[in-house]
């Protein structure tokens, strides 16, 4: 069964401290749903083409269904409510291959 992934790209972060509450709650929600952080960073990103050299987060789940359900979970919805106003990111749930 193909794995599922959360892929998040943050075009700009104007208030990194404003993400602290979200990061704590999201981390707990991801762990409870069986997710594993594969990559999280912004200090070492090489952007090409239309890429943005900002924070990128990649989280792996055992299946696409598990990844989709984790996003809809009450725990993750609580984390989303903690995002600061004016916050922007590109977030996707994608299915792996093979």
Residue-wise pLDDT tens digits, 1-46: 899 999 999 888 888 888 899 999 999 999 999 999 999 876 788 8
Alpha helices in 1-98, H assignment, sequence order? 20-32, 64-72, 74-81
Looking at domain 4-95, does it have CATH number 3.30.70.100? yes
Indicate the average pLDDT of the chain: 91
Q: Which residues pair with 39 in a beta bridge?
A: 58
Lowest mean pLDDT among 56-65, 75-84, 85-94: 85-94
Give the residue carrying structure tokens 């789940």. 61
Question: The pTM is what?
Answer: 0.89
Question: What pLDDT score does 42 carry?
Answer: 66
E strands, the chain, where?
4-9, 36-41, 56-61, 90-95
């Amino acid at each position: 069964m193909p794995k599922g992934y959360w892929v998040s790209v943050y075009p700009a972060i104007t208030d990194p401290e404003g993400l602290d509450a979200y990061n704590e709650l999201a981390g707990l929600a991801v762990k409870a749903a069986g997710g594993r952080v594969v990559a999280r960073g912004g200090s070492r990103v090489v952007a090409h083409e239309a890429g943005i050299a900002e924070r990128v987060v990649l989280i792996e789940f055992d299946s696409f269904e598990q990844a989709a359900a984790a996003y809809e979970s009450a725990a993750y919805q609580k984390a989303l409510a903690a995002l600061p106003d004016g916050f922007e990111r590109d977030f996707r749930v994608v299915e792996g291959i093979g």
